[in-house]
A = this chain, B = another copy of it.
């Protein structure tokens, strides 16, 4: 067990699909995210999620499992994971901090 909260931003890529369009698969992942109870946000280059390390990593693993259940034979995901112990910071706070500086 890992005793840390984290922010993770992941970009999941189904491989060996017939079509280069993967929005159907990403929509399925979003349904999974919605059911997870964790705070998340989708953007054009990935999905950001925050929570306890183990839950976040299991959720991304569940997304891989889901892809395989849907017939995808190979899945490649890039994840950017951040942890910090100097302060609590939600992923939204990071954008707010930069915007505040830009306004000053």
A1–B68 alpha-carbon span in the complex (Å): 15
A101–B19 alpha-carbon span in the complex (Å): 16
| Chain A interface mostly | mixed
Determine the chain B residues whose CB is within 8 A of the CB of A13 once the complex forms: 13, 15, 76
Interface residues of A in 60-79 (CB under 8 A from B): 60-62, 64-65, 68, 73-79
CB distance from A5 to the nearest CB of B (A): 11
The answer to whether A54 touches B61 (Cβ under 8 A) is: yes
- Which chain B residue shows the least CB distance to A84? B74
- Which chain B residue shows the least CB distance to A53? B61
- Which chain B residue shows the least CB distance to A64? B83
Q: 1/0 per position for A12-46, CB-CB distance to B under 8 A?
A: 01111111111110110011000000000111111
Determine the chain B residues whose CB is within 8 A of the CB of A77 once the complex forms: 80-82
